[in-house]
Amino acid sequence: MKKCSKKLTAVLLAVIIMLGALTAMPISVFAAESGESVGASSGTTGDCTWTIDDEGTLTISGNGEMKSNGQYERTNPWGTEIKKVVIEDGVTSIGSFAFCNCTDLTSVSIGSGVKVIREFAFDNCVGLKKVKISDLDAWYDIQFCCRRSEDVDAQMYIPYPDNTYSAHPAAYGADLYLNGEIVRDLVIPSNLTEIKDYTFYGCNSIESVTIPDGVKSIGAGAFARTGITSIDIPNSVENIGASAFDRTAWYKNQPNGMIYIGNIAYEYKGAMPKGTVIEIKDGTKIIASYAFHGYDNLTGIIIPDSLEKIEYRAFWWCSNIKKIYISDIAAWCNISYDSFGIDLGYGISYPISYGAVMYLNGEIIRDLIIPYGVETINDYAFYGLCGLTSVTIPDSVTSIGGSAFSACSNLTIYGYEGSYAEIYAMKENIPFVVITLGDLNGDGAVDISDATEIQRALGEFDDSIDLTDGIVIAAADVNKDNKVSIRDVTEIQRFCAEIITSFE
């Protein structure tokens, strides 16, 4: 009986061992198929090789790109217990999810050959406190990706405020070291024209930055979460991306309300009272990306004549804007808008897009008169403007953006025969009415009766002619000085007497 018991025990043990081996087989197969087992001390990643020493330092070397992992393939062969990372100069990109969840990682050295750090490369590297570089010029060239794409240059990459951009090694707050020295006072080189998105995001050590004249663009999040206490922006800057200076000491010290950086309306800070009308101060040239993003208590905005550009998503989700106040139509026509994503509904930068009406010097615009001398009406200039029924366009206009008058229902364009306005109206299928210069009474001829009617209106003998009406001005203003006066009467008389043959 004892012998049988021993045999039975031996059989059971054999079965258990076999089952254990079978259970482990899929894991071994998976590790073999993936190329290298997690926990190995060396191997390859994309075009590069890697090694780990006994102290937990991971070194990536070679020439070319590291492997990028997918969202559901975040495990790397070096595991998550590495302490330091050294990226050598020949490496050109750091792959997506490369060091994801490496919570023990405290230091990373990035070589001068790196051009791209892909999405989530340093996700959840909460202990990473030192970022070491040897070439500041090379650092300025790095693209930090926040959207997945096979083609980095073509990717749609959309910055959102207040997110942690885990493609950046300093995303959780780290000191930046240049050739072994901690960077506190940063001087941007004079030959640089663009500071890219997130370039110094989270670099706690930076306390001051000098930006030279010549820099044109400061990217989204470029200095967010740094230690800078003051900002001096040169007039050469034409663009400041979303949250470029957010969560800095400088930003925290700004009072609630509209924040300006030089001639840029950077951002509204704090709670906005209901029914707020914002007056952008004179001299402002740019309204920055996300400046009023999400402020549905904003109901009106006063635009100065100095404004030249409104950036991406400046008025996104400002759905209660109903009144726009301006004082110069010519200046308004020249404002440019960042139209990225507008057709998809998420790139709104123009304030009239939510069904607003526009006031010119306190008067609501229904019959719009573009003054003579304006050459360009920019894209989206009057897109969806409520209440607009007619627009009179002079022959000085030689360019009109394709969406300048889109979504303006029941609109009629008035202009001169053969003018660009007529070509545009035909192209956009907008009704067009021809105006003949000098023919005030609309009888198809320019004669002394037109001069007489203008004289009577100027002398207030005939109140049936409104000299402020756009069509009347377009016909009667033969000397094209944007007003009807006795000089126009004289010119028509000279034309009738054949002293002149045209009004050019």
**Mean pLDDT, residues 336-348 taken together:** 62
Task: Find the helix or strand (DSSP H, E) in which 448 lies.
Answer: helix 448-458
Say yes or no to pLDDT of 328 above 50: yes
For the chain, the C-alpha Rg in angstroms (whole number) is 33
Report pLDDT for 338.
79
Instruction: Give alpha helix (H) positions in 35-150.
Output: 136-140
Q: Is 455 a member of any domain?
A: yes
Q: How confident is the model at residue 205 (pLDDT cuts 50, 70, 90)?
A: very high
Model confidence at 156, in pLDDT bands (50, 70, 90)? very low
**pLDDT band (50, 70, 90) for residue 39:** low
| 71 is a domain residue | yes
Read off the pLDDT of each residue in 305-332 and give the average, rounded to a whole number: 94
Q: How far is CA 219 from CA 144, 162, 168, 201, in A?
A: 11, 15, 14, 10
Query: Which one has a higher pLDDT value, 238 or 62?
Result: 62
Q: Which domain covers residue 67, as residue numbers?
A: 35-179
Task: Copy the structure tokens of residue 401.
Answer: 């953006």
Does residue 469 carry a pLDDT above 70?
yes
pLDDT for residue 36 is more than 90: no
pLDDT value for 504: 74
- Compute the average pLDDT of residues 283-294: 93
- Res 152 pLDDT > 60: no
User: Distance between CA 358 and CA 364 in Å, rounded?
Assistant: 6
Domain boundary among 179, 214, 233: 179
What's the pLDDT score for residue 9? 47
In a domain, 123, yes or no: yes
N-terminal to C-terminal alpha carbon distance within the chain: 125
Q: Which amino acid is at 34?
A: S
What does the pLDDT look like over 103-145, one tens digit per residue?
A: 999 999 999 999 999 988 999 999 999 999 999 999 999 998 8
State which of 161, 179, 197 marks the end of a domain. 179
User: Is-contact 101 79, C-beta < 8 A?
Assistant: no
- pLDDT at residue 59 in the model: 98
Residues 6+ apart with CB under 8 A from 279: 301, 302
Count how many residues are written for the chain. Answer: 504
Give residue 401's pLDDT: 92
The residue-averaged pLDDT of 43-62 equals 96
Could you read off the pLDDT of 428-463 as tens digits, one per residue?
999 999 999 999 988 889 999 999 999 998 988 878
Q: pLDDT at position 355, please?
A: 83
Of 139, 161, 179, which one is at a domain's C-terminal end? Answer: 179
320 touches 296 (CB < 8 A): yes
When pLDDT is cut at 50, 70 and 90, the band that residue 409 belongs to is: confident
pLDDT at residue number 235: 87
Residue 32: the pLDDT is 31
User: Mean pLDDT over residues 297-307, rounded?
Assistant: 97
471 in a structural domain: yes
Q: How many domains does the chain have?
A: 2
31-40, 67-76, 155-164, 187-196: least confidently modelled range? 155-164
- Which amino acid type is present at position 345? G
Q: How many CB atoms lie within 10 A of CB 262?
A: 18
pLDDT value of residue 159: 42
Would 193 be classed as within a structural domain? Answer: no
Distant-in-sequence contacts of 43-51, Cβ < 8 A, 24+ apart? 43/77, 45/76, 45/77, 45/95, 45/98, 46/95, 48/90, 48/91, 50/77, 50/78
So what's the pLDDT on residue 342? 54
Residue 349 lies in a domain: no
* pTM for the model: 0.80
* pLDDT score, position 8: 44
In 364-406, which residue ranges form alpha helices assigned H by DSSP? none
- Judged against a pLDDT cut of 90, whether residue 72 lies above it is answered with no
Per the domain annotation, does 297 fall within a domain?
A: no
Strand partners, 273: none
User: Is residue 92 a part of any domain in this protein?
Assistant: yes
Kindly indicate the confidence band of residue 464, based on its pLDDT and cuts at 50, 70 and 90.
confident
Q: How far apart are CA 479 and CA 492, in angstroms?
A: 10
Give the type of residue at 275.
Answer: G
pLDDT band at 402 (very low <50, low <70, confident <90, very high): confident
208-239: pLDDT as tens digits: 999 999 999 999 899 999 999 988 889 899 88
Distance CA 315, CA 312 (A): 8
Read off the tokens for 307. Answer: 């404004």
